[in-house]
């Protein structure tokens, strides 16, 4: 097999380094593994060899291929033994001083045309390369854990990185059977940057007392199609990993409101409630099994009130059709009768604001989230305002659960849950394109492969409508007065002229 880098050095014998070493050998390179702990280096080589044995046992490798791969991989005891490498990939501790010192030593050992790659997930590639005699040969080469299974790799160009260095790393990624995406040197690169909205906005919703962790997870799984809710995901990655990334990106962007972390995760990190690995996070775990609380039963309602739908409701025709299919008595007059339950379906506004602006009786007003077509979701979400009567809340809950679809009832929130989180994700992704961090195509690839979202953020924006997303953001900014929700120029301009968010400019 002809490989673009015949001899590759991997520094760091942890799970990440071992995974990279495995992929490099499978791409045809001779791979030398080094760690400051000799026993860890040998353990890394042994673990990779054991992985190939398992693949052979499953029939995915034959005996000859397994033996060939093992001959390509070996441990070395000193940095000097990496002198013949065409590429060295470091996967050591996330400290700028450590990485810079390491590359400074390597520059004395390797020939001037050898490529240096850093697997950093949060540090500046430009800063790591600063001070070297040949900073142009340093690039980011960010794999995700575990590297053999996570099929996307970020290739990051620092300010001085030579174009051909990134081109070689992109080709090497393809030889590994993975998908490369190209990013400029910026905090969080693509995946960690684009993923900021999901968790941080969910945390803000909790901090406002709108819904609990489990309710938010249910809503985002069932309405949007995320595989894991944000709190399930943070429990899986662990807060000692996810919270520092939140703080790092926030501070690297000089306290940009869109990336603001939460006191909730800071407190839980301090208290050791890290997630699955400690047995307790946002959920409790017994023998590694998540413990979830059953949903509250649907309330029993004796006599159902008539329903009146606001003329300004989003998807009003669909909402009226849904009410009819559920057997509701529908009022069609210009205003609700004194007995009617008033339904509103705002985009971005809270139920209180709508009731005041439209001069509705807040005690009889309930909101429903209609951003997404009801037929495309597994859950309906209702919201009350502080004055909503219990009988009105229960009647709405009972009616919308009549055909067996799950219903969540939350407290008043500008943008409910789905609108807030989805709009935040789309807005951050749009601004990444505005900043030129990556192309729309690479952003979509990186997020779907790296984060497992049901759609890329820009495709998500196209599906739900850029104008609808803009309305959510503008109205949320009005409700909260927070610059966090200001729309990106990329989103605003494309929404204004009806252009797809995934459109690549000439």
Tokens of 189: 């690169």
Q: How far apart (Å, rounded) are the C-alpha atoms in residues 384 and 411?
A: 5
Residues tagged active-site: 121, 142, 154, 192
Pairing state of beta strands 289-291 and 284-286?
A: antiparallel
Decide: 384 and 409 in contact? Cβ < 8 Å.
yes
Q: How far apart (Å, rounded) are the C-alpha atoms in residues 396 and 401?
A: 9
Q: How far apart (Å, rounded) are the C-alpha atoms in residues 261 and 199?
A: 9
The residue written with tokens 């597994």 in the block is: 378
Q: How far apart (Å, rounded) are the C-alpha atoms in residues 314 and 336?
A: 18
Tokens of 431: 């601004």
3-state DSSP assignment of residue 117: strand
Task: Give pLDDT, residue 499.
Answer: 93
Q: How far apart (Å, rounded) are the C-alpha atoms in residues 72 and 467?
A: 54
Tokens of 191: 């995946």
Task: Give pLDDT, residue 1.
Answer: 67
Task: Give pLDDT, residue 342.
Answer: 98
Helix (H) and strand (E) counts in the chain: 20, 16
Tokens of 328: 């509701």
3-state DSSP assignment of residue 9: strand
Tens of each residue's pLDDT in the chain, 506 residues:
689 999 999 999 999 999 999 999 999 999 999 999 999 999 999 999 999 999 999 999 999 999 999 999 999 999 999 999 999 999 999 999 999 999 999 999 999 999 999 999 989 999 999 989 999 999 999 999 999 999 999 999 999 999 999 999 999 999 999 999 999 999 999 999 999 999 999 999 999 999 999 999 999 999 999 999 999 999 999 999 899 999 999 999 999 999 999 999 999 999 999 999 999 999 999 999 999 999 999 999 999 999 999 999 999 999 999 999 999 999 999 999 999 999 999 999 999 999 999 999 999 999 999 999 999 999 999 999 999 999 999 999 999 999 999 999 999 999 999 999 999 999 999 999 999 999 999 999 999 999 999 999 999 999 999 999 999 999 999 999 999 999 999 999 999 999 999 988 86
* φ, ψ (nearest 5 deg) of residue 418: -60, -45
Task: Give pLDDT, residue 264.
Answer: 98
Q: How far apart (Å, rounded) are the C-alpha atoms in residues 348 and 420?
A: 7
Tokens of 133: 């005699």
Q: Residue 51's closest CA among 64, 40, 61, 39? A: 61
Tokens of 304: 């159902």
Q: Residue 185's closest CA among 115, 92, 120? A: 120
In the 8-state DSSP scheme, what is residue 401? T
Decide: 501 and 461 in contact? Cβ < 8 Å.
yes
Task: Give pLDDT, residue 2.
Answer: 86
Task: Give the number of other Cβ atoms within 10 Å of residue 80's Cβ.
Answer: 11
Decide: 487 and 427 in contact? Cβ < 8 Å.
yes
Q: How far apart (Å, rounded) are the C-alpha atoms in residues 150 and 55?
A: 17
183 CB-contact burial (10 Å; exposed 0-12 / middle 13-18 / buried 19+): buried
Task: Give pLDDT, residue 280.
Answer: 97
- Is the omega angle on the peptide bond into residue 224 within 30 degrees of 0, that is, cis? no
């Amino acid at each position: 097999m002809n490989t673009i880098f015949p001899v590759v050095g991997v520094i760091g014998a942890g799970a990440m380094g071992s995974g990279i070493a495995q992929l490099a050998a499978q791409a045809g390179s001779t791979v030398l593994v080094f760690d400051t702990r000799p026993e860890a280096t040998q353990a890394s080589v042994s673990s990779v060899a054991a992985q190939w044995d398992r693949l052979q046992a499953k029939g995915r490798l034959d005996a000859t291929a397994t033996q060939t791969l093992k001959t390509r991989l070996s441990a070395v005891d000193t940095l000097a033994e990496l002198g013949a490498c065409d590429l060295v990939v470091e996967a050591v501790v996330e400290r700028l001083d450590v990485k810079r010192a390491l590359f400074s030593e390597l520059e004395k050992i390797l020939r001037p045309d050898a490529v240096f790659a850093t697997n950093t997930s949060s540090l500046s590639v430009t800063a790591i390369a600063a001070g070297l005699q040949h900073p142009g040969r340093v690039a980011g080469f960010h794999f995700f854990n575990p590297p053999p299974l996570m099929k996307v790799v970020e290739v990051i160009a620092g300010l001085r990185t030579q174009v051909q260095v990134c081109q070689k790393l992109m080709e090497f990624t393809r030889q590994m059977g993975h998908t490369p995406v190209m990013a400029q040197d910026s905090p969080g690169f693509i995946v960690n940057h684009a993923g900021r909205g999901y968790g941080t906005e969910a945390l803000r919703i909790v901090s406002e007392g709108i819904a609990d962790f489990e309710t938010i997870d249910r809503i985002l799984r069932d309405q949007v199609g995320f595989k894991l809710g944000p709190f399930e995901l943070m429990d899986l990655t662990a807060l000692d990993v996810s919270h520092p990334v939140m703080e790092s990106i926030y501070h690297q962007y000089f306290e940009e409101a869109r990336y603001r972390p939460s006191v909730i995760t800071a407190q839980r990190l301090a208290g050791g409630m890290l997630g699955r690995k400690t047995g307790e996070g946002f959920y409790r775990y017994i023998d590694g099994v998540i413990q979830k609380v059953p949903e509250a039963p649907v309330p029993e309602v004796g006599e159902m009130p008539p329903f009146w739908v606001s003329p300004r409701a989003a998807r009003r025709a669909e909402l009226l059709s849904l009410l009819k299919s559920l057997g509701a008595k529908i009022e069609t007059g210009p205003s609700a009768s004194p007995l009617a339950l008033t339904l509103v379906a705002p985009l971005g506004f809270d139920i209180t604001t709508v009731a005041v602006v439209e001069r509705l009786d807040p005690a009889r007003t309930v909101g429903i989230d209609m951003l997404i077509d009801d037929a495309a979701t597994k859950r309906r979400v209702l919201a009350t305002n502080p004055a909503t009567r219990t009988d009105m809340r229960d009647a709405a809950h009972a009616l919308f659960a009549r055909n067996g679809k799950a219903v969540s009832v939350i407290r008043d929130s500008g943008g409910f849950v789905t609108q807030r989180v989805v709009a935040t994700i789309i807005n951050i992704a749009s601004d990444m394109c505005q900043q030129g961090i990556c192309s729309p195509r690479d952003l979509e690839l990186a997020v779907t492969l790296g984060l497992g979202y049901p759609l890329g953020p820009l495709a998500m924006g196209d599906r739900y409508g850029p104008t609808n997303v803009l309305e959510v953001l503008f109205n949320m900014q009005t409700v909260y007065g927070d610059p966090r929700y200001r729309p990106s120029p990329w989103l605003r301009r494309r929404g204004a002229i009806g252009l797809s968010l995934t459109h690549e400019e000439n």
